Amino acid sequence: MRITHKTAGSASFKTKAGHPNGLLAVAALVVMIAVTVTQARGDMTSTRTVVTYAAPAGEVLSKDYRVHVAGQQVDIYMARVLDPPFAGKQWDHGGPYSFANFDMSGPVVVRIVSKRPLRNAVIRPRSSGIRPTLEDDHTLTLTLEQPRKLSVEPDGKKGPLLLFANPLETNARQPSDEGVVYFGPGVHKPNKIILESNQTLYLAGGSIVKAEVLAQGSNIRIRGRGILDGSDWEWRKGPVGNLIAIRNSTDVEVNGITLRGSSHWTIVPKNSQRVTIRNVKLCNSRVQNDDGINPCNSQDVLITDCFIRSDDDCVALKGLDFSAPNSDVGRVTVEDSVLWCDRARIFLLGHESRAAFMRNVTLRNLDIINFSMTAFLLEPGEDMRLENVTVENIRIQGEGQRELIRLRPVVNQYMRKKVPGFIRNVRFRNMTVDGQPGDYFVQIQGADAEHSVGDVTFENVSIMGTKLTERSRHVRIGEHTQDVHFRTEAR
């Protein structure tokens, strides 16, 4: 067996104009440890690489857990949540929680130690197939064959550990690279960061950047292994309005970073095209209305391999602006992600519906590990046509919720034009709800003869092991609906 250690020191970072800024904090001298293990197995050789990033000095770390990966310590951060009561109800978010990041390739063993008993700990999502080994009441190990986003839950929502095993970073940027706004390891407080065309904001592993970002232009990248932190601002008091605001832009990618404690909606592409959000981890629920990702009047948006925990909607598609040259919401895909909403919906499509169309939406291969209100809420108004929506390969952990799906054109307080919208061509395919028994109502209701719901299919959808049919107690089909079909086998 051969073990090699690689270290990378800190470097200065650049301002918007690309010049070093010596006024901000100096980074820690050693911030990254990469361990490569080459081990012979018979006539085969396997290589495992683990990269960890030291937390900056002064950051208050979690005292609830200790984590080692391939024998290397992983620093564990804290995220705050709203305290009950909230909005007149006892919304219990379970208290502060922990999260940790590391990079890996090849199978690795993770060892978790907690002051809390781990004998009944659950690893979510269940679809990961991770089966931990209990060493004693306070220690467990698990083997990861590939990068994963997991919630280790000794007691449900009460102080879980979110474990983010990332793929190895490629094409890491350097402070000297042209067009790079670079933040090295350490705590930085730039407050507001503005990105323009052909710029990259790079947050190195071990950095915490307390700022909101405004991206305006084309070919913009926000990437790295650091943390973008909005926790210092009160509700809706941030300098930009979103933790990452993407405005009137094309070809934008957000990749690899962790976002913590947004003060309002978190990532918002508005009037933008070709936006990719990949391997991004959202550790929210500090304030109300902290929606995870809200594509507004945007097209060709891909959200992939993400983890979202939020108080409010995980993903909300909105048509806020009807005056833009291309105000429709279209060709939006959310895939291969883990979703957790403490108080509201997982997906909200249609509120603030001023676009003419919201269409060609694909939600696939998703694990919903916690939700409170309706998981899939489709409620268009203002004559907007919500159509061509595919929801497939979805795994839901239920806690006895009253409602699962609602398709209903509405008028609500967020709308300017007080008329409902339309729903057409919606497919739910290969969906399972497991966990605790509950109503899990599927409600379909048109608004009137004109603003109706039509061409809806449920294919191979099961709730607590029972296939959904039109006669299921979970199904509520109201007036002004046409062509609602149920199939119990996938095609």
pLDDT for 126-151, tens place per residue?
999 999 999 999 999 999 999 999 99
What is the per-residue pLDDT for 9?
Answer: 32
Nearest to 79 by CA among 211, 256, 261: 261
Q: For the chain, what percent of residues have pLDDT higher than 90?
A: 83
Domain 230-487 fold is: Pectate Lyase C-like (2.160.20)
Q: Can you give the pTM of this predicted structure? A: 0.92
Residue 126, SS3 per DSSP: helix
pLDDT tens digit string along 315-336?
A: 999 998 877 778 999 999 999 9
Most distant CA pair in the chain: distance in Å?
A: 72
pLDDT tens digit string along 259-313?
A: 999 999 999 999 999 999 999 999 999 999 999 999 999 999 999 999 999 999 9
What length is written for the chain? 491
What is the per-residue pLDDT for 47?
Answer: 67
Say whether pLDDT at 31 is over 90.
Answer: no
Dihedral of the CA atoms 253, 256, 258, 264 (nearest 10)? 10
pLDDT tens digit string along 369-401?
A: 999 999 999 999 999 999 999 999 999 999 999
Report whether 428 contacts 458 (CB < 8 A): yes
- Both tokens of 341, joined, read 């909403």
Residues 23 and 26: their CA atoms lie apart, in Å, by 9
- Which architecture characterizes domain 61-167 according to CATH? Sandwich (2.60)
Nearest to 222 by CA among 272, 165, 285, 179: 179
Nearest to 86 by CA among 294, 322, 286: 286
Say whether pLDDT at 455 is over 90.
Answer: yes
Say whether pLDDT at 18 is over 60.
Answer: no
What is the per-residue pLDDT for 325?
Answer: 76
Nearest to 287 by CA among 81, 94, 96, 98: 81
Report whether 416 contacts 382 (CB < 8 A): yes
Nearest to 421 by CA among 446, 445, 451, 377: 451
All residues at 6 or more sequence positions from 293 whose CB lies less than 8 Å from its CB, including other chains: 266, 267, 268, 277, 282, 303, 306, 308, 314, 315, 316
Q: What is the mean pLDDT of the chain?
A: 90
pLDDT tens digit string along 63-121?
A: 999 999 999 999 999 999 998 776 667 778 999 999 999 999 999 999 999 999 999 99
pLDDT tens digit string along 230-259?
A: 999 999 999 999 999 999 999 999 999 999
Where residue 491 falls among pLDDT bands split at 50, 70, 90? low
Q: For the chain, what percent of residues have pLDDT higher than 70?
A: 90
What is the per-residue pLDDT for 36?
Answer: 65
Helix ranges, 310-420 (H): none
Report the half-sphere exposure of 472 (CA within 13 A, side-chain side).
Answer: 23
- Domain coordinates of the chain in residue numbers? 61-167, 230-487
Which residue(s) pair with 477 in the sheet? 444
